[in-house]
Amino acid sequence: MKTLVTYMTQTGNTQKIAEAIYGELEGEKEIKPIGEVTDLEGYDLAFIGFPVLQFDVPPKVKSFLSEKTSGKNVAIFMTHAVPEGFEAIHSWTGSASQAAEGANILGTFDCQGELAQPVIDMLLKADDPQMKAFGEMGPSTKGQPDASRVQKAKEFAKEIQAKL
13 touching ligand FMN, by CB under 6 A: yes
The window from 38-46, 59-67, 76-84, 98-106 that contacts ligand FMN (CB under 6 A) reads 76-84
Of 29-37, 64-72, 79-87, 93-101: span binding ligand FMN (CB under 6 A): 79-87
DSSP 86-126: -TTHHHHHHHHHHHTTTSEEEEEEEEE-PPPHHHHHHHHT-
Between 12 and 102, whose beta carbon lies closer to ligand FMN? 12
- For 41-66, give one letter per residue: b (16+ CB within 10 A) or e: eebebbbbbbbbeeeebbeebbebbe
Residue 138 Cβ vs ligand FMN, minimum distance, rounded to whole Å: 9
Asked if 82 interacts with ligand FMN (CB under 6 A), we say: yes
